[in-house]
Structure 1
Amino acid sequence: MSFAIGMMSGTSVDGIDVSLIEVKRRPKFVSSAFYPYPSEVKEFILKITTLEDLTYANFALGEMFAISAKKFIDSHEIEKNKILLISSHGQTIRHLPKFIKVWSVKVRGTLQIGDISVIAVRTGIITVGDFRPAHIAGGGEGAPLSPFFHREFFFSRNEKRVVVNIGGIANITFINSQPMLAFDTGPGNMVIDGVVKRLFGKEMDKDGKIASRGSANELIIKELLSHPFFKKKPPKSTGREDFGMPFIQKLISLSQEKNLSPEDIVSTASEITVRSIIDAIKRYSPYKPERIIICGGGAKNLYLLNRLKEELKVVTVSDEFGFPVKSVESAGFALMGYYLLKKIPNDPERRLLLGKVAFPHFKRVNS
């Protein structure tokens, strides 16, 4: 048996998800763990403004990812010689899918940190990462990358399926479409988490309990869904640049002008996520979905999950297919890294090999 480890920290900036998969003809999820960032780490990442901060954070996060990988290997008693690779998405710092002109060239950009050379040297295991730049170089926006592993994990010839990942940003994959259609739908947990942090001093709305106690305001939902991103046709991607603190502050200000309770504001933020996902499916699905599979941390928010079930009916969670909702992305990046090492395109739509490889210490073999 051979294994790959995948590591992921998303736009929610809550910590490092680690998954182990067995690599074979049909990849098999084995186990996972989550290593939360200390609060000071999250605050530092979200406030990076100088090149000095960015440089140090790149190496500090490399060390944190390496520590998490070693803890995972030790706690799961995995034989190191059976681990083919570690595959790390890293931590997104900026995602800029809009073209601008720099000097005489038109460019878009994305930046993930957590240096993979640090991970490789500290663990002694080949490490793959930095997947998004090749996606941009090949004509994409650098996101979403999940269509590759959504299809690998959940495709069925017997049922037309849609996969919705609700992370900090939500994205959707119509895995039965040819060519495959996939794009970001808007905020997932990002706005909800920001509102809950400001109003309740908590990191998240656990199980959607706060939203369930409130009532969403339709006028505010309508105004915020007029954001230009929602009007843009796919393919499209987004990030904290569109739905970070200015968007969160606008939502809170509009809500306070209408004297909404804190619970109402969280409910309103949650409905923005729900409505944008529903709208994306109804407007752009190339077929009538027979199954809608929800994954990502947002699948644990029962307000979001129950509202999607109420509106879309054929909703289930990825656990039913052997992949825990919080582990799909980290498991997916494990598979992406494995494909890169095998020189099999991990962006089959563009026939690209996404990612870069870092090696541990060279060990001389005596002849």
Structure 2
Amino acid sequence: MMKVLGTISGTSADGIDLALIETDGERLSGTGAAGIRPYRATTRAAILGAIAAGPSDRGTWPALADAITRDHATAIAEFLAGTGETPDLVVFHGQTVWHDPAAGETVQLGDPQGLADTLGLPVIGDLRQADVAAGGQGAPLVPVYHQALAAGLGQPLCFLNIGGVSNLTYIDGDTVVAFDVGPGNALLDDFIRRAGVDDFDRDGRWSRGGHVDVARLVVALSHPYFTRAAPKSLDRNAFSLKWVEGMSLLDGAATLAAITAEAVARAVALLPREPRRWIVCGGGRRNPTIMAELAQRLAGVVETSDDHGLDGDALEAQAMAFLGARFMAGLPTSFPTTTGAREPVIGGRLYRPR
């Protein structure tokens, strides 16, 4: 068993998630402290700008990678000082700013070697590159951890992560299928931010007060991505706000929440069987409108990760830690049915402090 610290920041760049677990890469012996540390305001603004600009902004990536690494080093040092723990290993996902699997490219900015040197601890980085090199989508990477968490739960079930993009993991015994479903919180966050009222639809404040435009919902779900066979993955900016252009704040927010939920409902047709339960994690589980829309549209029971004693805020950072332990044990981190790779892939690279 190893004590591993996992870190990750999503495309909302609202902070760096950190979580400690004890694992050998197959079994989860226990979970430890978890938390989130914010990026510096200048770093977050630069990340959001880089995501919006895409590959046309490549010239700014090296300087941004340095800033991301510094912020992670500070966050990790503060976190470990607060816990009094010294992990055997740190897993550094880095910050995704561009994801284009069709072109064989996924970009997570950060310097794992620099982080290892600063911390004086071994660091696993480059988690997605080997999968892409093997013909995979490079995402999602969390399914193997979801499978470990699903032991003892009634199956078939789905873990549904609603971050910037929604992705699911279908688990039925040894059968694991995963893919990106569609827009998660990204469009709704952008719509609320553009209106200047908040950074996101806090507690469903705006979406619950509006009416869903069914005609626009139908248009949105006619996008060919939703019927494309899995495995498949999305960039955060794969969809745009044109679906709700000209709508009021409340009705636009309600319609975007319904699009997120209906995309999940349509994804059921791509699964081997109808799931008996849906375990929702990620920021979307905190939005009552999205949760109500899911419950209305899905046949299985819709629950949150917290209902099962799982820390939904820490789960992805825990998953990164789990992947790092699997790398060290020589175990696959992604599979043909989760990313489309030609064969099971051991993702990651070890950086030792110099």
Whole-angstrom CA distance in 1 between matches of 2:152 and 2:137: 27
How far apart, in 2, do the equivalents of 1:39 and 1:89 lie?
A: 20
Residue in structure 1 matched with residue 213 of structure 2 by the alignment: 217
Stretch moving more, 221-230 or 263-272: 221-230
Of 65, 86, 95, 1:91 maps to 95
TM-score (norm 2): 0.90
Mapped contact 1:131–1:355 kept (Cα < 8 A) = yes
Alignment of 1:116-155 (within 5 A): 116-155=112-151
AA aligned to 2:91 is: S
| Cα distance in 2, alignment partners of residues 153 and 119 from structure 1 | 29
Look up the SS of the partner of 2:76 in the other structure: helix
Is 1:3 the counterpart of 2:39? The answer is no
The AA in structure 1 aligned to 2:260 is: T
Write the letter of the residue equivalent to 1:13. A
337-346 or 126-135: bigger deviation: 337-346
**Residues 95, 241 of structure 1: 8 Å contact kept:** no
User: Over residues 291-317 of structure 1, what are the superposed CA-to-partner deviations in whole Å (9 max), with x where a residue is unaligned?
Assistant: 211111111111111221233251111
Show CA shifts across 1:6-47 (max 9, x none): 101112222211111122533422221112234432321132
Is the counterpart of residue 336 in structure 1 residue 332 in structure 2? no
Q: Secondary structure at the match of 2:205?
A: helix
Q: Indicate yes or no: 2:313 matched with 1:326.
A: yes
Report the alpha carbon displacement of residue 194 of structure 1 after superposing the two structures with TM.
0.4
Correspondent of 1:267 among 237, 254, 266: 254
Question: Which residue, 67, 72, 76 being the options, matches 2:79?
Answer: 72
- How many aligned positions are there? 340
Q: What is the CA deviation profile of residues 87-121 of structure 1, one whole-angstrom value per residue up to 9, with x for unaligned ones?
A: 1111111100224xxxxxxxx21111121112211
Q: 2:243 aligns with which of 251, 267, 285?
A: 251
Residue 58, structure 1, aligned to residue 65, structure 2: yes
Q: Could you tell me how far 1:177 is from its partner in structure 2?
A: 6.3
- 1:157 is displaced (CA, Å) by 6.9
Q: Distance in 2 between matches of 1:333 and 1:169?
A: 18
Q: 1:352 corresponds to which residue?
A: 345
CA distance in 2, matches of 1:239, 1:348: 20
Deviation (angstroms), 1:180: 2.1
Alignment of 1:162-311 (within 5 A): 162-176=158-172, 179-243=175-239, 247-248=240-241, 250-253=242-245, 256=246, 260-281=247-268, 283-311=269-297
Q: Is the 8 A contact 2:40 2:71 kept in 1?
A: no
8 A contact 1:177–1:286 mirrored in 2: no
Tell me the alpha carbon deviations over residues 301-352 of structure 1, each in whole angstroms, 9 at most, x when there is no partner. Answer: 1111122123325111112333211211110000001111122222255332
Q: How far 1:193 sits from its partner (Å)?
A: 0.5
What secondary structure sits across from 2:172 in the alignment? coil
Return the alpha-carbon distance in structure 1 between the equivalents of residues 207 and 177 of structure 2: 31
Among the aligned pairs, what percent are the same residue?
31
1:191-232 CA distance string (max 9 Å, x none): 010001001342111111211111111111111222232232
Counterpart of 1:13 in structure 2 is 13
SS in 2 for 1:55: helix
Q: Distance in 2 between matches of 1:129 and 1:152?
A: 22
Q: Which amino acid aligns with 2:20?
A: L
Query: Which amino acid is 1:234 matched to?
Result: A
Q: Cα offset for 1:173?
A: 0.9
C-alpha separation between the residues in 2 aligned to 1:351 and 1:141? 13
The amino acid of 1:354's aligned partner reads: G
Cα distance between partner residues in 2 of 1:230 and 1:302: 24
CA RMSD of aligned residues (A): 1.8
- Name stretches of at least 5 consecutive residues in structure 1 with no aligned partner: 100-107, 362-367
State the secondary structure of the residue aligned to 1:56: helix
- Extract structure 1 runs of 4+ deviating beyond 6 A: none
325 and 158 in structure 1: CA distance in 2 versus 1, 3 angstrom threshold: closer
CA distance in 1, matches of 2:29, 2:105: 31
Any unmatched runs of 5+ in structure 2? Answer: 51-55, 337-342
Distance 1:43 1:226 in 2: 33
Other structure's SS at 1:352 match: coil
- Per-residue deviation, 1:179: 4.5
